[in-house]
Structures are given as C-alpha cells and as structure tokens.
Structure 1
Amino acid sequence: MTSSGSSSYNSFAGLDPADIHDCVPVVLYATNATYFAWKMYFSLLFRENNLVDHVDGSVDSRATVRDSEWTAIDATLTRWFFTTISKDLFHTVVTMDDQSIDDYCRRLKLLVDELRDIGAKVDDDLLLSTLIAGLNEDFGNATSNLSLIPEPSFPKFVAYLRLEERRMKGVKERVQHHALAAGTSRGAPPPAAPPAPAPHHQPAP
C-alpha cells in the first residue's frame, strides 16, 4: 500500500537512516533558539526523500496500519526525532517515569500546545503515538487495548488510562492486603500482652 501522495516514494532514496546527525546537525533544546534551525533541516530532509506525507497529516495513519513499509518508515522518523533532541527534552516528551496519568498527560498536552503556538504542526496521530510511547511498563497491557478504542482521540485515551491506573492501584492494594494477611496466618508472633498492673499497696497505719 502506498499513499496517494507517495506514488514515487522510494524508502529514503538510499539514505542510511543511521546518518540522521549528518542531515540534521543541530540538537533541539527546550531552553534555546535551536527550534527553527532544527525544523528547517527536517523540512529539507522530508522533501528530499519524499517523506512529507508521513508528517503533514495528509494521510490517515489508520489506513496504513497494515502496511509494513509505511509503519517501518514511521518508526524511523520517530527515532530521528528522539535522537535529535536533548536528553531533558526527551524525558519531558517521552518518559512517564513515576508521574500519575493526569500529570503525564497534562505535561504532554502543554508541550504540544506550545509547539503549535510557534507554528509546529503536531497532529492527533503524532500526539497519540507519543502518548503511548511514553507510558511506563506498568501500562504494557493497556497500550494494546488503546488500539481497540473506536474513533481514537486524546480525551478518550486519557479517560481509559485513568480507569486503568485506578484498577492497577486497586489490584496493588489487594495484593498487599493479602500478603499481610498471609504473613499473619503463617505463625506470626501474637501481639505482646500488656504489662501487668503494679500491685497496689495500702499505706501503713
């Protein structure tokens, strides 16, 4: 399958995907003015290799999900982005760490809004794929279920992940309760008896 805008696309035209730093010789930081240079290098790279329709939102990613070549190129583009941004920005965008779902999604949405404010196009498909990529390993099973949500959207994903977070918290609490109960039933020492009251002596007459 090829998109209507990619009838001649040729898998990077011989470009080695590992040579991204030769093609984009700048690193994007959140704290300096490298964004426009970074964006320009990528814009040229996409046009030179007929990859624009992978990033401009003109192709519905759901229509290409079974096209192995298309998805492989998408994965390479994502890797290019991740390897040309600073470590701090990478962790801000990609890594959930120990944040709650609400905090993680709020930070991600804020970053997307800031990029859009300066003219960077971040379509819904890229937002959703970045959201999934940044989930920590506790949500491993949830990521496969997200693909089953009809008419996927950021609010739907967030709502589902909140429910999953609540479910996992309940499971963890039950496991801890059962472990504590099992430890007590296996011969844990009984609680110590309270000390006997001191004998009461009547004062001598």
Structure 2
Amino acid sequence: MAAAPPPLERAFGITNIKTRVPFLLDADEADYDAWRELFLTHWQSFDVSGHLDGTLLPANDDDAAWKKRDGLVKLWIYGTLAKDLFKSTVKTGGTSREVWLRLENFFHDNKEARAVQLDHKLRTQEIGDLSIHAYCQELKSIADLMANVDAPVSERTLVTYLPNGLNEKYDNIINVIKHRQPFPTLEQARSMLILEEERLGKPKKVPSHKDESSSSPKGYPMWPQQQFNPWKQMPLSPHPQPGLLGSRPQQQMLVQGTHNNNSNQPQPTMDFASAFNTMTLIDPTDSQWYMDSGATAHLSNTAGSSNTEDSSPQ
C-alpha cells in the first residue's frame, strides 16, 4: 500500500478553492472575519499557514519549492476575492504574506469609525420580513463584527437590544423577557421568541354555524316559518253599517278622514284581527257593535244575551 503524500504535496491537489471557501470576499459585505477564519483553517490543514505568518521562509533566493507553494497560496487568496477588491489589493510580484497583510489593513483601518457604524446598526436593526431565527442571527453577526474591531458587545447588552426591532405583535413576550429573573441569555430569549412566533402563526379557529334545519328531528321536515306582520290591513266592509252604539272608532276616523280630505292618507289597521284571525269564530269583516245587557255590563260583538239559560228578552 502506497504511503500518503506529505501535506505540502497534498496542497497541490486543490484545484478549486471555492469548494473550501464557498463565498467571495467583498468590501461591502463586511464578511472578512468569516473569510479569514475559513482560510486559516484550510491552510493549517495543509501546513502552509507559515507562508502567512512569516514562519516558513525560503532557504535561499533560489528556493523553487518554496516559491511554488507560495504562489499556490496567492492563487487561493485571489480566487476568493470579489472583482473590485481584487483590483484594490493586487500587485505585481510580492509574496502571499504581503497580499494577506494588505487585506488585513484594508478591513481593519478606521476601527473607531467602523465600531460606531456597527453600533448604530445594532441598535436600529429591524426584523422586517425576517424570521425570529434570522433576525437573532443578524444581531449576533453584527456583534461579532464589533468584536473584530475591538468593540465587543456583552450578551446582556445584545439581549437588551433584541426587542428594539421587533413588531408590536411580540409586545407580550417582550415584557416577559424584560422582567424575567435571572435575565435570560440570547439563546433563551431567542427560544421564547420562536415559540411566540409559532403560536402567532397558527390559524385562528372560526366558530362553526349550525344549519337551522339540523335542529329538527331526523326524518321530520320543518314547517316554513311565517313572519307575522301586525301592520297588515284586514279588508273592511265596503258598506259599513252603524250598530246600536254607532260605527267602530276605526271606521269613524276613516269616514271623517274621507269627508275632510279626499287624498290618500294612512289607514288605521285592524291589528288584533290580523294577529288572531285563526282563533276567531266570527266573520272578521263584521263591523257592528252589540250591547250585551247581561249581568256583566260590557260590550260584545255578538248579538243576543250572554245568558244562555234564560231566553227571555233582557
């Protein structure tokens, strides 16, 4: 079985550095620290990090093997730079360490101004359309960038900034986070917010409306409901005749109104006749009034005596 090649020789087997560092370093994205961490891990695994920190020097000016490896490291760096950043850092000749230091100075210049800018972004970051997980990750990324420019943010301060960019629908859980003892960590606050996000995302239950026909016994149809209209006018006699006491009050008002004004006016209705027409045994169109001279003096709309036992005239 053949022995494994030395690490320095294995480095030349990397034909596409983007499979190890899966994004381009851009001056506007502020992802230098993530790019740097990936590169250092990759170089250490192939024992070529000495080309960057200056510990691996050429044996002499004609050390071809060292120049070959150093050129490979330079290709790795240039292959992961965005076009604009590549133009700002490339120079003819030079070593991989010189390129590395130019990039480091480019991103670490004006640390104070950058720290102020990042602190403002951390305070004013809003959730927008992001999920709770993505929003918390964005705040943590900003805090990591501030640590890289010597302006670290404590976890308690980060949790304090967390509610600033949330929507009003999270007000209840925000109050719980602020008053919880002991004060929650970032992971605990994020878990509480994620649970609240899931609760708010559930569809609300809509009360079901039962059909009216479902209340009727099975197999028995419901009678159609009829709405009683008390203002429905019953037909009056075309030629009302006055009784013993005269015309009914409604008819009297109708006659007077007809004599005084021939115009159409609201007609009084016979409310009780309309309401109880199914319970009446007499003709509802009979407009006469009759005197009941029985023992109880009251008016009745039936002719004759109210005493059925005595047939003598009263």
* TM-score bin, normalised by smaller chain: 0.3 to 0.5
Which has more helix, going by share of residues?
Answer: 1
- Max Rg structure: 2
The structure whose RCO (Cα within 8 Å, separation 6+) is larger is 1
**TM-score (norm: length of structure 2):** 0.29
